[in-house]
Chains A and B, each alone.
Chain A
Amino acid sequence: MAADVGTGGHPKGMFKTLRTDAWWFEPLWTGLGFLIFTIYANYEMLKGDNYWYNAGVEGFGGYLSPFFSPLFFADTRVWAGAPVHESFFGLAPEWWPTWFPSISAALILPLPLSFRLTCYYYRKFYYRAYFMTPPACAVNPAPQPGRYEGERMMLLFQNLHRYALYTAIVVIGFLSWDAFMSFFRGGQLGVGVGSIILTINPILLGMYTFGCHAWRHLVGGRKDCFSCDALNRDKGMTKSYGAWRAVTWLNERHMLLAWVSMIWVGWTAVYVRLVASGAITDFNTWGN
């Protein structure tokens, strides 16, 4: 028996397998896809401009890029930045470095990022694509430094996923407000292509967030007995069971929603950037 083959004919060594299908394809496309999104999010944060569009019309309404929402501070030094009255705390503080323009994006991006990084679906994808433990089923993993401990020891923080969920829910609230705001320009009600894009964004994020495994646990999965809520029945089933089933429906589509919602966030930011920079025209009912 050759030295690189174990008992049973199983190959030894990193990434060795007898699988004959394209097992490397999934970790490759998911790894590249998330990397591209992360690079773009960092580009938006570091560039910090072209995140607001209201066609120069003063008053309530406009398009705000999701990477900058909620807008804690405005920065008048950048092109197509939001006006001061749109921000929670006014102008960016003096001490904020000029080479890093967007304090709002820097403050807000870690919140949804922490939700995705601790998400049970994303864990599957990045343990496979980036950490190679294992890269695919029945494919030998990358060697481990020391004894394998899984999500114990260094990765214990994954257990706080539900707290990342709470912050993600708050962010969806802000993005929903942005969607509402996008239907106004100078206080006048209307609709533009950007309004539709900005509205789809919190809907997809909501479907992803409320299909989360931690949420599914909190709304009912933690119970052993749904019917014990006997006083809380609605249409033949308890409310907690009904809620759990609804979340389960979303949970079964969690991977799909994770990707679609992430891509849509990026697309929304790209759209606002293109409109704000004048590269494309936003078709709308306001005529500007």
Chain B
Amino acid sequence: MAERKFRVWRGNAEGGEFVDYQVEIEPGMVVLDAVHRIQTHQANDLAVRWNCKAGKCGSCSCEVNGKPKLSCMTRVNDYAPDETITIQPLRTFPILKDLVTDVTWNYEQKAKIKPLQPRPREADGTHRMQQEDVDRVQEFRKCIECFLCQDVCHVLRNQDRKDAFVGPRLMIHIAQLEMNPLDTADRIPELKKEYGSGLCNITRCCTDVCPEHINITDNAIIPLKERVVDRYYDPVMMIWRALTGK
């Protein structure tokens, strides 16, 4: 069997270093397989979070050769045979140990967002929705909360504005609620201020890294930004609302 070199970051919040490992490679292996092989044969104390190994739980997020990826969906043979594969923890969140980061901040942001407030049920006790009304929302439900989009978003990653922007994952969540035909809550004022839609400068990295291929930028963030424009920046709409009360 062929061998290839892996560089894995080892350490904790205080510090650490890259450690090189030679790993035997089999056809069809993914990066997470290599990490498990290192853990089994060379470094029993290597910390890695994983669960389904099928790209559906979002646990094994890390950075492979500088790009945010799910390690279980990244094939080793995507890289040239002589290329060293570097594996790091996510940059945007505090490191617990080795490849494991603390993503609690994301759940704290989610808790800040107004939940669904459905309109009253119809006379027969049901809620009815047409497919054309839920097409958009269904795309957002594919999110597996791997937080790769949060990791790559430069507002959170480099500009350190976690205080002002909830990030693309939560923008999807807000879009999913705002566009829900049953929902009656109004999140536009919070979207502008607390959730920080204006911080996003639409460089689309969140969409580029999404393993579920959710078009985060075009289908969630930009439509939400346009709703903020309707409410706060479009003078004609503002006059129309003042005159009609709508």
B59 within 8 A of A: no
**Which residues, 1 to 46 on A, are CB-close (under 8 Å) to B?**
1, 6-10, 17-21
B65 & A20 in contact (Cβ 8 Å cutoff): yes
Evaluate contact between A1 and B15: CB separation under 8 angstroms. Answer: yes
Q: Which of B1-17 contact A (CB under 8 A)?
A: 9, 11, 13-17
A17 CB contacts on chain B under 8 angstroms: 66
Does B205 touch A at the CB level, under 8 Å?
yes
Is B16 touching A237 in the complex (CB atoms < 8 A)?
Answer: no
Q: Which of B90, B95, B158 contacts A134 (CB 8 A)?
A: B158
Known contacts: A9-B18, A137-B208, A141-B154. The answer to whether A124 contacts B202 by CB under 8 A is yes
B66 contacts A20, C-beta separation under 8 Å: yes
Query: Are B226 and A222 closer than 8 Å at their CB atoms?
Result: yes
Per-residue CB contact flags for chain A residues 145-174 toward chain B (1 = under 8 Å, else 0) read: 001111110011001111000000000000
Known contacts being A8-B91, A141-B154, is A18 close to B66, with CB within 8 Å? Answer: yes
**B36 neighbours in A (Cβ, 8 Å):** none
Q: How far is the CA of A226 from the CA of B181 in the complex (A)?
A: 9
**Set of chain B residues within 8 Å of A140, measured between Cβ atoms:** 158
For residue B43, give the distance in angstroms from its CB to the closest CB of chain A.
16
Contact in complex: B201, A127 (CB < 8 Å): yes
A217 at the interface (CB under 8 A from B): yes
Asked whether any CB of chain B lies closer than 8 Å to the CB of A238, the reply is yes
Question: What chain B residues lie within 8 Å of A150 (beta carbons)?
Answer: 155, 161, 165, 196, 198-201
Interface string of B54-74 (1 = CB under 8 A from A): 000000000101111000000
Tell me whether B155 and A148 are in contact (CB under 8 A): yes
Measured between C-beta atoms, what is the minimum distance from B239 to chain A in Å? Answer: 14
Chain A residue with Cβ nearest B228: A159
Q: Which residues of B contact A228 (CB under 8 A)?
A: 181
Is B208 a contact partner of A159 (Cβ separation < 8 A)?
A: no
- CB pair A138–B68 under 8 Å, yes or no, is yes
Q: Which of A7, A123, A138 contacts B95 (CB 8 A)?
A: A7
Given contacts A1-B15, A221-B226, contact A152 B198 (CB under 8 A): yes
Contact A10 B233 (CB under 8 A): no
Question: Which residue of A124, A134, A152, A237 is within 8 Å of B199 (Cβ)?
Answer: A152
| A20 pairs with B9, CB closer than 8 A | no
A19 and B65 in contact (CB under 8 A), knowing A1-B17, A9-B16? yes
Given known contacts A127-B203, A137-B205, A148-B159, A18 and B88 CB-to-CB distance under 8 angstroms:
yes
Question: Is A225 interfacial (CB-CB < 8 Å)?
Answer: yes
A19 touches B13 (CB 8 A): no
- Most B CB contacts (10 A, CB to CB) among A9, A10, A213 go to A9
Total interface residues on B, CB under 8 Å, equals: 61
Q: Say yes or no for A227: interface residue by CB 8 A criterion.
A: yes
Q: Which residues of B contact A214 (CB under 8 A)?
A: 226, 229
A155 to chain B, nearest CB (A): 8
The range of chain A's interface size is: 35 or more
A286–B91 Cα distance when bound, in Å, is 66
In the complex, which residues of chain B have a beta carbon less than 8 angstroms from the beta carbon of A94?
Answer: none
Give the docked Cα–Cα distance between A78 and B175 (Å).
55
Q: Find chain A residues with CB under 8 A from B68 CB.
A: 137-138
If A18-B86, A20-B83, A238-B132 touch, whether A149 touches B199 (CB-CB below 8 Å) is: yes
Q: B129: which A residues are within 8 A, CB to CB?
A: 227
Whether A7 contacts B66 by the Cβ 8 Å rule is: no
Pair B65/A251 contact, Cβ less than 8 Å: no
Cα A225 to Cα B155 with chains together (Å): 32
Contacts of A19 in B (CB 8 A): 65-67
Residue of B nearest to A214 (CB): B226
The answer to whether A151 and B199 have CB atoms under 8 Å apart is yes
- Interface status of B230 (Cβ within 8 A of chain A): yes
Task: List 14 extra interface pairs beyond A7-B11, A150-B155, CB under 8 A.
Answer: A1-B15, A7-B95, A8-B90, A120-B202, A137-B68, A137-B205, A138-B63, A138-B157, A152-B198, A160-B234, A162-B234, A221-B226, A224-B181, A227-B181
Q: Which 9 pairs from chain A and chain B are nearest by CB?
A: A18-B66, A19-B66, A137-B205, A148-B159, A227-B130, A150-B199, A217-B226, A159-B233, A152-B198
Of the A-B pairs whose beta carbons lie under 8 Å apart in the complex, a sample of 14, sorted by A's number, is A8-B90, A18-B88, A21-B65, A120-B218, A123-B201, A138-B68, A141-B154, A141-B159, A150-B199, A162-B226, A217-B222, A217-B227, A221-B223, A227-B130
